[in-house]
Amino acid sequence: MDNQFFLSLITGIFVSGVAGYLGSLMLTKRMALVGDALGHIALPGIGLALLLGLNVSFGAFVFLLLGVLLIWFLEIKTYLPTEALVGIIFVFSLALGFLITPQPELLEALIGDISKVSDIDAVFSIILSLFVLYVISKIYPKIMLASISEDLAVASHINIKKYNFIYLLTIALIVALGIKVVGSLLIGALVIVPATASRVLSRNLRQYTLISGFLGVLSCVLGILFSRITGLAAGPLIILICILFFIPSLILKKEDNRV
Amino acid sequence: MQNILEVKNLIVSFNNEKVIDHLSFNLRQGENLVIVGPNGAGKTVLLKTLIGMIPFKGEIKWQENIKIGYVPQRILPERNIPLSVNDFFKFKSSILPDLKIDSQKVFESLKSVGISDLSILEKKIGVISTGLLQRILIAWALIDSPQVLLFDEPFAGIDIEGEETIYNLLSQIKKERNLTIILITHDLNVVYDFADSVLCLNKKLICYGSPKRVLTPNSLSQLYGGEIKFYKHKH
């Protein structure tokens, strides 16, 4: 196994695992499409980073941070539904991103390219993934409680606004990191497909979070391996494998899935 | 007996409209206070204000270091959410890290609400029946041994299982755990059976005192507006 391949694989494993874990929380909060939207919001940042020769994840994160702050601010000020606000900001970013991103790099921005990850990139991705993992594990029970009963959460002195903000920041970080792996078009799938499959299979939180993370890792490893064998782009392969795991989960638990 | 709560001239407003207007009352240790009033009278708002969820004017003075348990009207978990009843109890330890919640504590509080079949802990919370979920919420509130319990309409939409109603359960829990209880209800029968004091609320205080003394046809018609006929059931 050559060094570059190993770097890609290890970076992918950490980022996808944490993306799957975070996705389990996003699904519970009915924010399945937020990852998708944020992926698009990052596009102008990716374009600028490619133009200026900066790290793609860094460029993406700066724009995501601006996007998240804007959404959070508008949510408090206007009381409009979050999804509407996200929707508007995301199409704005998409339009802007297409104009900014240089044509040859556009494809990389859209579907990612894990094969070119540098060792510094890898180290940063791993450290930040572990950081996000730690933060989510701390805020998970509080956000989960607030999502089933805001009353109980507030009565338990949980500062919901504060935790929601931290939670949005972790999404921004994971989206920025994941864009390297599967690109801005597909990052939404990386956070939500493993969690959806896991949700069908799980009976409790432990199973739910573990299976989500595990399916993320497994899809990524298989996707990168297939990419090496076939020469096809890793990003779309990873997502297709994610979805392959989702289909049998539906068949396995057909009974329970009816509401 | 000692007052554990003193409320003076409490005013709660939403958008400049007074939802609770100059309310004063006290709560003594061991007392059962029942709050009655029509829909939109501010009952739930009052409970939430008492535990610091809603800003207010006036004075709310709890005894120092008092522990309060709160049972909300309802929680609405999605049916398929992969969250077991056990997970729900575990949330309590992440909220109160100082409190060690072991399985023993969970078993004890489930027992207090009449649940002895522990297989319920493995069930998904979204598929539990309304009545059972209500008991679980009470157990959840009891687990860190509060001195006061605040219940919001535990009678609405409850399927009564066997002879034991939530209200019988409350009386029993109260005895076992030496609790003070504030309860919101629509069911005036509960007032006579359960309450030491009743507080009739319709934005303003309509009546306050022992049920037999203050629940007069006059105060009830003032509370609910127009003619209301209510006779205490003779058992």
Query: Which candidate in A139, A152, A158, A160 is best for mutational testing of the B interface (most B CBs within 10 A)?
Result: A152
Higher pLDDT, B29 or A135: A135
B chain contacts of residue A204, beta-carbon cutoff 8 Å:
82-84, 86-87, 122, 124
Higher per-residue pLDDT: B129 or A192:
A192
* A202 within some domain: yes
- Residues on chain A touching B87 (C-beta within 8 angstroms): 204-206
User: Quick count: other Cβ atoms within 10 Å of Cβ A10?
Assistant: 15
What residue numbers bound the domain in which A158 lies? 3-250
Q: Taking the model in full, what pTM does it have? A: 0.86
Burial-class residue A60 by CB neighbours within 10 Å (0-12, 13-18, 19+): buried
**Among the partner residues B48, B81, B140, nearest to A28 by beta-carbon distance:** B81
Sheet holding B148-152, edge to edge: B68-71, B148-152, B180-184, B32-36, B197-202, B204-209
Q: Which residues in chain B are closer than 8 Å to A160, comparing Cβ atoms?
A: none
User: Between chains, do B81 and A204 touch, taking CB under 8 Å as contact?
Assistant: no
Residue where the block lists tokens 């600028």: A48
Least confident window among A14-28, A71-85, A238-252: A71-85
In 3D space, the residue among B138, B88, B149, B150 whose CA is nearest the CA of residue B109 turns out to be B138
Measured distance CA(B41)–CA(B28) in Å, rounded: 24
| Cβ neighbours of A157 in B, within 8 Å | 52, 95
Backbone angles phi, psi at B199, to 5 degrees: -125, 115
pLDDT score for B162: 42
C-alpha distances in Å from residue A199, one per residue of A43, A46, A196, B96: 30, 32, 5, 27
| In a domain? residue A258 | no
Q: How far apart are CA B185 and CA B172, in angstroms?
A: 18
Contacts of A156 in chain B (CB under 8 A): 95-96
Phi, psi dihedral angles at A2 (to 5 degrees):
-80, 165
Mean pLDDT, range A242-250, rounded to an integer: 87
A interface with B, Cβ–Cβ below 8 Å: 28, 141-142, 144-145, 148-149, 151-152, 154-158, 198-199, 202-208, 256-257, 259
Tokens of B231: 């006779």
The token pair that represents A171 in the structure block = 């999404």
On chain B, the residues whose CB falls within 8 A of the CB of A154 are 53
Please judge whether B122 and A28 are an interchain contact, meaning their C-beta atoms are less than 8 angstroms apart.
no
Neighbours of B226 (CB within 10 A): 6
Whether residue A171 lies inside any domain: the answer is yes
- Put simply, the answer to whether B94 touches A141 (Cβ < 8 Å) is yes
Does the beta-carbon distance from B95 to A28 stay under 8 Å? no
Task: Give the one of B75, B122, B124 whose C-beta lies nearest to A149's C-beta.
Answer: B75
A257 part of a folded domain: no
How many CB pairs below 8 Å do chains A and B form together?
72
Q: How many whole angstroms separate alpha carbon A207 and alpha carbon A36?
A: 25
Best mutation site among A151, A196, A256 for testing chain B: the one with the most B CBs within 10 Å? Answer: A151
Nearest to B216 by CA among B232, B196, B195, B235: B232
Segment A151-155 shows an average pLDDT of 89
Characterize A87-126 residue by residue with b for buried, 16 or more Cβ atoms within 10 angstroms of its Cβ, and e for exposed.
eebbeebbebbeebbeeebbebbbbbbbeebeeebbebbb
d(CA A219, CA A209): 16
Tell me the chain B residues in contact with residue A145 when contact means C-beta distances shorter than 8 Å.
Answer: 91, 95
- Number of domains observed in the structure of chain A: 1
* pLDDT at residue B171 in the model: 83
Residues of A in contact with B120 (CB under 8 A): none
For residues A159 and A163, what is the distance between their CA atoms, to the nearest angstrom? 6
Q: Side chain identity at A18, as an amino acid letter?
A: V
Domain CATH code at residue A51: 1.10.3470.10
Choose between A197 and B93: higher pLDDT.
A197
Please tell me which residue, B230 or A205, carries the higher pLDDT value: A205
Residue-level pLDDT at A61: 92
Neighbouring residues of B97: CB distance < 8 A, sequence distance ≥ 6: none
- Mutate one of A142, A163, A199, A204 to test the B interface: name it (highest B CB count within 10 A): A204
Does residue A259 lie in a domain region?
no
Instruction: Tokens for B216, please give them.
Output: 């007069």
* Interacting residues of B201 by C-beta distance below 8 A, sequence separation 6+: B20, B23, B35, B36, B37, B41, B42, B43, B46
At A77 the three-state DSSP class reads helix
B82 contacts A205? CB cut-off 8 A: yes
Segment holding B205, helix H or strand E:
strand B204-209
Which pLDDT belongs to residue B231?
A: 56
Beta strands at B180-184 and B32-36: parallel, antiparallel or unpaired: parallel
What is the three-class DSSP state of B151?
strand
Could A204 and B83 be called an inter-chain contact, meaning their C-beta atoms sit closer than 8 Å? yes
Q: 3-class DSSP state for residue A48?
A: helix
Helices (H), chain B: 43-50, 85-95, 103-112, 130-142, 166-177, 188-194, 211-214, 217-224
The whole-number pLDDT of residue A252 equals: 75
A165 domain-assigned: yes
Residue of chain B minimizing CA distance to A145: B91
Record: contact A204-B70, CB cut-off 8 A = no
Give the pLDDT confidence score for residue B177 in this predicted structure: 85
Predicted confidence at residue B1, as pLDDT, reads 67
Q: Provide the residue-wise pLDDT of chain B in tens; the chain has 235 residues.
A: 688 999 999 999 998 888 898 899 999 988 999 998 888 888 899 999 998 889 999 999 999 888 899 999 888 778 788 999 999 999 988 888 777 778 888 898 898 888 888 899 999 998 888 888 888 999 999 998 899 999 987 555 555 554 457 777 888 888 888 899 999 987 777 788 788 999 998 888 888 988 888 888 888 888 887 655 555 555 5
Contact residues, chain B, for A152 at CB < 8 Å: 70, 72, 75, 140
- Report pLDDT digits (tens) over A45-66: 998 998 888 888 899 999 999 9
**C-alpha to C-alpha distance for A129 and B116, rounded to whole angstroms:** 43
Other CB atoms within a 10 A radius of the CB of residue B96 amount to 14
CA-wise closest residue to B172 among B151, B194, B187: B194
Which residue of A154, A156, A259 is in closest CB contact with B80?
A: A259
Helix (H, G, I), strand (E, B) or coil at A148: helix
